[in-house]
Amino acid sequence: MFCSEIYFIALQIILLYTVALKAVNKRSVDLSASHALISDVRLSTEVVPTGYEIHLHPIMEKDSFTGTIKINISWTQAIKKISLHAHYDLNLNERTLTLLKLNKDSVEEAIPILRGDRMLRKTIYIIYLKSTVQECSQCILKIDFDGNIWQSTEGLFKGSYTDGINNEEKKHYLATSMNPNNARRLFPCFDEPGFKVPFTVSIARPKTYTTLFNTPLVRTESLNSSSESSYVIDYFETTPPMSTFTFGFVISQLNKFKSEQEKLTDMGLQLEISLWARHEVLAEIKEIYAKLNEIYPLLIDYFNMSLPLKKIDVLAIPELGSLRPADCWGLLMFKERDLLNKPSYYFLTHELAYQWLGSWITPDWWNVSHINSALVGFLSTTVTLKLDNDQEYKAKYPMTLLYSLYYEFSKRYPHSRITGLKQQMASQKTEMILRMLNYTLSESTFQAAIRKFVATYQYKAYVSNDLWDTITNQAILDGMLTSEYSVAEIATSWIAKDRLPMITVDTIWDKNNVKISQKLYLRERPHDVPEQHLMLWWIPIVMISQDNLNFSLTKPKIWMKEVREILVPNSWTENKFIIVNPQEIGPFPVNYDRKNWNLLLSFLLTDEGRSRIPTYTRAKLLHDAWNLAYAGDLNFATALNITLFMKYERNPIVWRPFFIMIDHIGRHIEMSDVHKKFDMYVQAILTPLYEELRNFDSNTWQSELKSLAHRSLSHAGYKPFVEEARQNYKLWIESANPDMDIILPNNYICIVFKWGTIEEWEFGLERVITFPKNRTRSERTYLLKTLAGCPVQPYKIIRLLNVTILEGNGNFTDNDILLIFNMLSGGSVGYETLYNFLYDNWSDVRRKFENKTNLWDSLITEATGSFKTSKGYEQVKTLYNQHKGEFGSATHIIESSLKNIKEEVKWSDENLPVIDVWLDNFLSNNNRTT
């Protein structure tokens, strides 16, 4: 139905929450992709730090720094060496290296040092001693060091920006980025999150600058050296115990935002939140200041504990580069544009929450980071939802996040082995497990457990079972679980698998019982995941019956304890539907027998039904039905029947899965009469919706829904919208200099390339060929993607392939050709035409790509891997047989394609006739009623 360009737009909708709201998770103790790159070699614990005293002297004009550190260390075992972290770029002065042992009455005794060595290929520095130091000894290790200030945002780095009304003045700043393990670039230390000790710090700076550190300033003194009279030294309060990655400071000429309310009074403590920015933008951050002061008390209320800090400085730093929001304890650094771009309440809540969970309470090691990130994400959401002003966030959470989880974990190979995506998805899945526990154990029990957790582990580091055990104990205390249950066991059954389950609910009509079974949820075929029969989860069975539609009852009727099947007695009344997992309490889809689906549909077709079944549950029923049918677990007629209530639905949360799935299913059946009927079905469903919303132009949910409906109708060939797009496109054709600018919205271009004439398409091709070098390349990329991915006429695609491959037009690079291949795989016209082009021009194409394995492999993948019918299978098999032995590096690709197409053929043979009959009936009934 849709071209592949719209497919990618749909995927962007699926991942919208992930990209827009969860990107903030990639930071601090949530290392995402980077955590896998951290060495597993950990420091020994025979020697541990108990405190740091650090003096730093950055020399801005020389891009270097010097420093001295005194580390209080304690011996837990008798040993004659000290291992700590120091980066290769950090120079340690071994001549001044000293170790003093503290005896009774604080008498210092020098301990002879033999030498210091760096561990091979590790950022670990080992100090060898002449004699063994006994257990329980207390010593002071003094090290002088120096290093360079870098431009990259690792360790201590330097940035610059232009200031003033006319950007006439260039200013510099210094800032730190210690996460996850960059403190060792600035000073020698025990650079692991589990070591939490106080820091006493002094930092030199130019007189005209301000230094902001984790803690407040105590005093400022001049440097003794007259040659450096332009520098002063700032002395700061000793920090509470903290990890090295939360250490941070900024030396800048930013200005402080002045507010009438400077301090928050909470629980007898004073905490000042200060905003710092360029003078020109101070007026713009007033709203942010108000939001921060609104959020912070809510976090205190949730945790029942304020931060042990006197201040939090929030900085809007211009041109901060690629640095993520860096939340050192008491010091939050943002890119200026991120902070000023009207951040959501969630965005700010998330940053503040890390002050509790991350800085104050810290994972013991990076393998717990995804749990910490998930906990911060969930609690940030909980607090954000208590505010009334973030409607956009409320409209997206949690459904769009769940959709991305369902999509990714139902693949045969989740994440495509991309480490960063794997870590991010693991964090998001864990957040949904926490949400599930919050529902099933009750919000009050969950909050009480988190409060105990914070009270117990303040200033400490924790492992994952510390969190799970705290929740278990509170749930047992409150009577929400019995002693046979363990939250650690429940959570691990979900977290340990890169998968999700689905359950099937079967009613046993003569006994009022319900049989519930679980299995691995797979959308992508073939369903040949190894050992899937061994995968079982702890699943809460929350059940709502039609005779008691109380959706506030979220305690499970029963827990499935990692068993394949259970019987729930006396849980159903004849001719009354049941709903399992309402409100997406747990991250798993639910299938029902046909009678229960039909009872649900009958209820949803009534005004009472749509008003009594909440929004999230209506969206879930629709989303589950479509996805289960797509996966082959539900008859497609039933799934299509469920969409009939959408004629009366107006909530965008419920509509989102509809837009996503008409794209998925549309692409799958993009052929002959079935495809045309499906387009007519889409138009019949969406036209009334659009007509009702056509006058909404303001920034409201109605306008967003209108935009989605307009886009879907356009790509289903709705004539008024196609003509509208072509009229706007004509203005571009007739413009005096069409190469200088695209004078129509992007959303019109694909419509014209799909439904317009060859002349209109050729105009677009010419714009790509003659694209000016001084224009943004992303505009050319978009044009090329739509030229390839949108047309439904083979002759347009053949023309593009001739120009780029056979004619070898020099305006197209190898990357352009790869992009074309990729876009053509998004629809049946594209990949069938690509197949025919390869079949007809085998010798020429093989010769051109014989030394370009990446292009050849991509061509075979996209030309043979997307067929879904018996005819397509025979086509690919014919190509394989005719050129056996000639595929080279792509031999395994076409053999895999043949295997996969067999599975798709089964799906098509089973579902296309069902869809065809259903569409005939729908269109017949619709014609009679219009």
Ramachandran angles phi, psi of 133, nearest 5° = -100, 135
Q: Which helix (H) or strand (E) holds 51?
A: strand 47-59
Give the burial class of 692: count Cβ atoms within 10 A of its Cβ; 0-12 exposed, 13-18 middle, 19 or more buried: middle
> Could you give the CA distance from residue 858 to residue 866 in angstroms, rounded to a whole number?
13
* Residues sharing a CB contact under 8 Å with residue 33, sequence separation 6 or more, in sequence order: 26, 419, 420, 421, 423, 424
CA distance 779 to 761: 16
Annotated binding-site members: 350
C-alpha span between 27 and 427 (Å, rounded) = 12
For residue 260, count other CB atoms closer than 10 A to its CB: 4
In Å, what is the CA distance from 725 to each residue of 728, 740, 744, 760, 807?
A: 5, 20, 9, 11, 31
Name the residue type at position 468.
W
Q: DSSP letter string over 523-563?
A: -SSP---TTGGG---EEEE-EEETTB--TT--S-SEEEES-
Burial level of 184, CB count in 10 A (0-12/13-18/19+)? buried
How far is the CA of 455 from the CAs of 305, 361, 467, in angstroms? 8, 10, 12
SS3 459: coil
Among this protein's residues, is 351 annotated catalytic? yes
Binding-site residues from annotation for Zn(2+): 350
Q: What is the DSSP letter of 802?
A: I
∠ CA 713-718-723, rounded to 5°: 115
CA angle, 512 as apex, 506 and 516 as ends, to 5°?
A: 30
Q: How far is CA 500 from CA 13, 396, 412, 657, in A?
A: 21, 21, 12, 19
731 closest CA partner among 744, 748, 722: 744
> What secondary structure does DSSP assign to 822-883, as a single string?
HHHTTSHHHHHHHHHHHHHTHHHHHHHTTT-HHHHHHHHHHHHS---SHHHHHHHHHHHHHT
DSSP state of 207: T
Q: Catalytic one among 5, 192, 351, 670? A: 351
d(CA 453, CA 460): 11
- Strand runs (DSSP E) across 224-268, as ranges? 231-236, 249-252, 255-256, 263-266
DSSP string, 280-344: GGGGGGHHHHHHHHHHHHHHHHHHT---S-SEEEEEEETT-TTPPPEEETTEEEEEHHHHHS---
For residue 804, what are the contacts with CB-CB under 8 A and spacing of at least 6? 812, 816, 817, 820
Six token digits for residue 743: 């004078």
Catalytic residues: 351
